[in-house]
Structure 1
Amino acid sequence: MGNFTTIEELAQMAYVNLDAFSPRDKSAFWTILAKLLQNRGGKPSRTNHQHGQMKEQLETILCNTLGNIGRFSDRDIATTALGMAKIVKQVGQFRGRKPPTGSPHQILHDLLVGVKSDKKPLVFGKIAISSIPVLPEFEARHLSNLVYACGLAEFIPKIEGGRTFFDILALEAISKLHHFNSQDLSNMLWAYTNVGASNLSLFKAAGDSIVAMENLSRFKPQELSNIMWAYATAGESHPRLFMKLADHIVALDDLSGFTPQALSNIIWAYSTAGETHPRLFEKFSDHIVALENLRDFWPQALSNITWAYSSADETHPRLFKKFADHIIALDDLSGFNTQAISNIIWAYANVGEAHPRLFGNIADRIVALENISSFNPQAIANIIWAYSSTGESHPLLFKKFADHIVALDDLSGSKPQEISSTIWAYANAGESHPRLFKKFADYIVDLKDLSGFDPQALSNIIWAYATAGESHPILFQKFVDVAIKRCNEFNSQEVANFLWAFATIGQTNQHLFSSFAPTVKSIIGKLNSQEVTNIGWAYAVSNVYVQSLFDADFISVCLEKDNDFCKKSLSQLHQWQLWQEELKSDIRLPPSLREKCQKAFVSTLPSPSKFQDDVISELSTIGLNPEQEVLTKSGYRLDALVEVRGKKIGIEVDGPSHFVRRKPTGSTLLKRRQVNNLDKIPVISVPGWEWYKLGKDRGKKQQYLRFALGLD
């Protein structure tokens, strides 16, 4: 049969001589048919007559094979199953559409798979049932081939009693593992994983068997790759196996026998399984960097490798540079699917590897796409997060994704973490897109249950709205209600970000800050320098006093972090100290730190705007002789100070940064309150939107100021 070069000739010969065929002949037929089918491609038969004739012949041969397979030997059963599985694999490449009409692919698809995959259970179910009585007679190689065949066909035959064929095969395989060679083990483990039929006992026994071997010199690179991929994909832990295989690979003189796919699968497996082995990662990295070029590395391999190194926190700058240089040198990136793009960009950002041209090229490609519907929420979140966290600015990319999200009918496909990462990225990058923020807020508000939003997501989302200056009162109240019930679940960073955000947007909910006080008290010692000042400042803005919250422990943490405080943190701490003065409490920072905070607070030099100059000019015109940029005793600077009927009044010229949707920010509220309470100077605000409405009419501007100051 090996001499036949066409399927038509092979089928004709087998059909004519079927009665004389032995089980070995029949099993050989299916093996050779699979090879000829692969060479044939999807070409149809020459005539309809030939097509009908071949269909009848193959159907007869199949029925005869399955009808007599109970009398086949272990080798013949396994060979037959493997041949049919390879055919199923080939005809399955037409998923989503039918094989070409009149082709052997179509005939075999109808025979072995079925229009609705209804034939595959009958074919492989028959093979399974027939093999069970003789499984004890199977040699290791044939048992492995039988398992591999079912895995290749992606089918799990079910047996009575709730068990599957794979359950029975596992028991038999465990008893014969000492007879399995490297290929047998590789194929068997791959098959179990490929159909999702992981078996804990089998994987443990197989792993133990490999670990017990004196050396692994007989394992080919592809076999090592399949084994590691199988354990990682199935989620089967076996640290000693991972160590054994990694040590073996590291000890090899070179890795020239490892294909890019094998390299990719192995390093992906170690990262996915959470198995660390720095020398293995270094060995692979050095090998790849030393290659003359990367033309054999498909986009998926590039994606898997960069993702794996990043996820394992293995930083190898030369490897990342090599990959980036290769990608940007490509004529186009059409071979990279959305998942590959997402993983690569995320990986570079996650390990802090900057490569502006890579980020620029990928962003330009995405922007140039007419349709980006192939980018799912996770891919968008990963990409936007990467650009934001690395500081790689690309406004058109941010706009492209934002417009896409806003245009979606709904966001039900987005997970809380994806929403959190996306909205955080826009705020962190300073990319304004009010409709995007509103879209996300409206979606979250409409949800009946926010249990899927963990404290990190809650704090990141609120932080994003506060940072971007986007208001959504209903969303804020919903988050308040959730956070109050779950405040003990928040860690130090989440507490600090959450409270800072609400204070920043001027949402000083008394119940919220009171409820979080016990949590703050419990984590005081865990706060870093930024967290301690953010929390202190937030409570100062909220003006919620809780007995013993800011006691000696808080002061001790401040002293401990003294050298870590930046200028902004010192300024916040100064405002917290002013709050203690407002409360008339006896809590004081040490004199040296107090002085340091005050110096930082007053050190910012004023930079008057044209808006401010205009207001000052009109104040002068109405005879008030305003003092400009007045430094008060508390340390605040007032844009102007005037005297009206013997009483000093501060005037603040408030631009957009002082408001969130025309409501004062937390900083604005705190300044007005503390200047009034401590410096005894009432503050009058001149909002930009009110001033600009007056246009160039100086008379109206003067009248506006006189009214605001009570002069009319």
Structure 2
Amino acid sequence: MTDRGATPETILSLFAVRGVNFNARNLATAAHRVAKTSRGRNHDVQRDRRVMALADACRRRIREFNPQALANTAWAFSTARIEAPKLFAAIAGTASSRLGEFNPQDLANAAWAFATARIEAPHLFAAIAGAASSLLGEFNPQGLANTVWAFATAGIEVPELFAAIASAASSLPGEFNPQGLANTAWAFGKARIEAPQLFAAIAGAASSLLGEFNPQGLANTVWAFATAGIEVPELFAAIAGTASSRLGEFNPQALANTAWAFGKARIEAPQLFAAIAGTASSRLGEFKPQNLANTAWAFATAGIEAPKLFAAIAGAASSRLGDFNPQNFANTAWAFATAGIEEAPQLFAAIAGTA
């Protein structure tokens, strides 16, 4: 079975015909290649019954999988966005007692896969943290970035592991790619781990690579530095310049997080805020309640007059206040009051009634 000319259809057809004779290695390889070859294709692997049959076959033979097969299988089903909770439970149970056999890449891939699939596996993550701590010197930059991203995404608190990774990564930022830099910064910001030396190293490395960052990476980077309270005005200025002309590529959360970060960091960026206002106004129907509240809060905090944006936020928020949490209520009301927006009686009446 080779990748050349392979498609999800050819791989799954082969499995349907010969799968009964597949050994553990064949099953893991099939899963990995289905995920890898489905990228950018129209094949709906999530609804293909043969994929679930493959997941079930992997689960039944899971104790025969070697460490790489375990990690790659988890990676495959996570990457293809296939819900297979029984398979992930089986992988977690088998892997937890064998992590001493995993190499650094297998550990990082396993953590990334479970976090991406939103599978709660605290015992597995605890075991990965213990196994990884003694091997950090052998992790490559992507492995370090994927590991901290996974633990932060899963909400697993392991300050000792983060401190060790911060120490290991601080001397390697020049070897990180843009996504690795952004994900590492985001993870430390999300986990509320103080790592000033690491953030300084990331800022230095990122400044010369901003043209290669994707929109999510730009947003995650400024969000992380603002959340961590790290003052790097030069980096923020560079990101403002890079992001202003690319906001059409930002999703709603990235727009809101970018505005929030510049407001939180008290960085003056009028051109960026004006561009965000113009881009966001027509897309507010796609914003989640927290995005609406954070955007209003950011503009008010930055002292940016954007009456058309505030009017659009008022209209978008008024009918959705039942989805707002108390913090969203408070931030939205504060933002409109601070910005001196008086022509939003419907919003304030709705806030008063809902609160």
TM-score exceeds 0.5 = yes
Q: CA RMSD in A?
A: 2.5
Residues in 2 aligned to 1:389 and 1:157: alpha-carbon distance in whole angstroms: 42
- Report the CA distance between 1:443 and its aligned residue: 4.4
Using the aligned pairs only, state the percent identity: 32
**Structure 1 or 2: more strand by fraction:** 1
What residue number does 1:376 align with?
Answer: 251
Alignment of 1:97-112 (within 5 A): 108=5
What residue number does 2:330 align with?
Answer: 459
What residue number does 1:425 align with?
Answer: 298
* Aligned with residue 234 of structure 2, among 357, 375, 383: 357
Equivalent AA in structure 2 for residue 200 of structure 1 = P
Superposition TM-score, scaled by structure 2 size: 0.89
* Aligned with residue 127 of structure 2, among 244, 260, 266: 244
| Contact 2:115 2:150 survives alignment (8 Å) | yes
| Contact 1:346 1:382 survives alignment (8 Å) | yes
What residue number does 1:151 align with?
Answer: 35
- Report the CA distance between 1:470 and its aligned residue: 1.5
Residues in 2 aligned to 1:239 and 1:261: alpha-carbon distance in whole angstroms: 23
What residue number does 2:200 align with?
Answer: 321
| Contact 2:289 2:317 survives alignment (8 Å) | no
- Cα deviation 1:201-220 (Å, max 9, x = unaligned): 2222221222223x61x422
Residues in 2 aligned to 1:403 and 1:163: alpha-carbon distance in whole angstroms: 41
Q: Which secondary structure does the structure 2 equivalent of 1:392 belong to?
A: coil
* Aligned with residue 231 of structure 1, among 104, 109, 114: 114
Equivalent AA in structure 1 for residue 227 of structure 2 = N
- Report the CA distance between 1:442 and its aligned residue: 4.3
Q: Which secondary structure does the structure 2 equivalent of 1:295 belong to?
A: helix
| Contact 1:128 1:157 survives alignment (8 Å) | no
Residues 169 and 420 of structure 1: is their aligned pair in 2 closer, same or farther, counting only changes over 3 Å?
A: same
| Contact 1:263 1:284 survives alignment (8 Å) | yes
Equivalent AA in structure 1 for residue 106 of structure 2 = E
Residues 443 and 272 of structure 1: is their aligned pair in 2 closer, same or farther, counting only changes over 3 Å?
A: closer
Equivalent AA in structure 2 for residue 356 of structure 1 = P
1:347 aligns with 2:224: yes
- Report the CA distance between 1:184 and its aligned residue: 1.3
**Structure 1: any 5+ residue segments left out of the alignment?**
1-79, 88-107, 114-119, 488-712
**Structure 2: any 5+ residue segments left out of the alignment?**
none
Residues 380 and 172 of structure 1: is their aligned pair in 2 closer, same or farther, counting only changes over 3 Å?
A: closer
- Structure 1 stretch displaced more, 295-304 or 374-383: 374-383
1:415 aligns with 2:288: yes
| Contact 2:247 2:255 survives alignment (8 Å) | no
Equivalent AA in structure 1 for residue 291 of structure 2 = E
Residues 357 and 476 of structure 1: is their aligned pair in 2 closer, same or farther, counting only changes over 3 Å?
A: same
1:286 aligns with 2:163: no
Residues in 2 aligned to 1:267 and 1:194: alpha-carbon distance in whole angstroms: 18
Residues 481 and 359 of structure 1: is their aligned pair in 2 closer, same or farther, counting only changes over 3 Å?
A: closer
Alignment of 1:484-499 (within 5 A): 484=353, 486-487=354-355
Q: Which has the higher contact order (CA 8 A, sep 6+)?
A: 2
**Structure 1 or 2: more helix by fraction:** 2
- Report the CA distance between 1:171 and its aligned residue: 3.6
| Contact 1:166 1:192 survives alignment (8 Å) | no
What residue number does 1:434 align with?
Answer: 307
- Report the CA distance between 1:302 and its aligned residue: 0.6
Equivalent AA in structure 2 for residue 458 of structure 1 = F
- Number of aligned positions between the proteins: 351
- Report the CA distance between 1:289 and its aligned residue: 1.4
What residue number does 2:91 align with?
Answer: 206
1:469 aligns with 2:340: yes
Residues in 2 aligned to 1:172 and 1:366: alpha-carbon distance in whole angstroms: 46
What residue number does 1:17 align with?
Answer: none
Superposition TM-score, scaled by structure 1 size: 0.46
| Contact 2:31 2:76 survives alignment (8 Å) | yes
Residues in 2 aligned to 1:443 and 1:203: alpha-carbon distance in whole angstroms: 39
| Contact 1:385 1:421 survives alignment (8 Å) | yes
Residues 464 and 290 of structure 1: is their aligned pair in 2 closer, same or farther, counting only changes over 3 Å?
A: same
| Contact 2:56 2:87 survives alignment (8 Å) | yes
Alignment of 1:646-665 (within 5 A): none
| Contact 1:124 1:157 survives alignment (8 Å) | no
| Contact 2:321 2:350 survives alignment (8 Å) | no
Residues in 2 aligned to 1:183 and 1:321: alpha-carbon distance in whole angstroms: 35
